Amino acid sequence: MRASASAAAVLLMAAACNEAPNGTQVVADSTRTDTTTNPGTPSQVLADRSPTPGSIRGVVRAETWASGLVNPWGIEILPDGRALVTERPGRLRIVAVNGQLSAPVTGVPAVYAEGQGGLLDVALDPGFASNGLIYLSFAESGTGGAGTSVARGRLVGNALQDVQVIYRQTPKLNGGGHYGSRLVFARDGKLFVTQGDRMNWRDYAQDLARGQGKVMRINPDGTVPSDNPFTGQSSARPEIWSYGHRNVQAAALHPTTGQLWTVEHGARGGDELNHPERGKNYGWPVITYGVDYSGARIGEGTAKEGMEQPVYYWDPVIAPSGMTFYNADAIPGWKGSVIIGSLTPGALVRLELTNGRVTKEERYLGELGERIRDVTVGPDGFIYVVTDSGSGRVLRIRPVIG
């Protein structure tokens, strides 16, 4: 569902994008169950589906903070109000408070910038104010192909120093798709690394011996926490936190519960909102709400015993990338919302949660026609997004009034 999908797949997805009225309210239906795919097994409550609301105008507006970026992918606001922005071809930039771009930061690891690969996410160490450490996820080539890796280094001026690769997805595989990846620090200081199934290798998402299609949990130095669910199992990667994921390009920590939430790409339909829990299996490619780009069925259906249901799913897709929990006051009525970037059809998606379920979905900024790749909140309470194109921008999102 990224830019490298075939033209035919893009047309199929676009044809499916019929929009419901603006501001459609989602009413959770807890009575829908699935027993058809696995007769004789306990029925499961199916996930709630997005009503595909149209884009709302007149509530928020976008203004350009920085421009001249090439396929920006991740953004992280620094404590002094500047921002770090990754460019997928392999550059890290610093955006000054006035929007001026720095020269590329030196010391960034070499990346595999082919297909969907390249320099991906950026995150600050929880102790950044004192240690200056930042973390980068990226596609890295090596024996067998390429895979998702994570490096950390100390930001000094316009340079990264003492750079170390602390995690490498194994095995490395051929193909240019589905690297993930987002980086999220938990409250206990552990680092979540979201990944993809590498597209042509989707069955590996169910194989605990392989790194594809997993959310990983590591210590900041790359070592494995002793309380990870599969630590000590010789047949499993010890970094695994959860598995059965397709391509997770959006992740954030809930500001109240501290729980990890993610949004992952489905195929043709089936984008999913999840909160990955310790050791659980999220089903891909055995269960899914999507079908293949050809229209062919994937897996066994939408539910199976021992596999988790998503909290919510989109069909047609939003092609999700980047998310945050909005915990500020600058945009009235949005506090507590989940904010997600959409690549296709392109929008800012806002969800309201009640008791862990989506009760409302709204969409904004569809009129811009931009692929929103990442989303964050600045110290001013406004939302900042990056737009994924060869003429990429950082946009500041603020209320129309105020």
Q: Which are the catalytic amino acids?
A: 178
Q: CA dist 154 to 88, 150, 157, Å?
A: 20, 14, 10
Token look-up 């949004």 returns: 263
Residue 297 DSSP code: -
β-pair partners for 151: 136, 165
Long-range contacts of 276-280, Cβ-Cβ distance < 8 Å, separation of 24 or more = 276/215, 276/241, 276/242, 276/245, 277/242, 277/308, 278/229, 278/241, 278/242, 279/229, 279/230, 279/240, 279/241, 279/242, 280/242, 280/243, 280/308
Q: Residue 107's closest CA among 166, 157, 149, 159? A: 159
**How far apart (Å, rounded) are the C-alpha atoms in residues 210 and 204?**
6
E strands in 213-329: 214-218, 240-243, 248-253, 260-264, 271-274, 312-314, 320-326
For residue 141 the two structure tokens come to 């080539």
Letter string b/e over residues 30-52, b meaning 16 or more CB atoms within 10 A of that residue's CB = eeeebeeebeeeeebebbbbbeb
Q: CA dist 182 to 12, 264, 308, 373, Å?
A: 27, 11, 21, 11
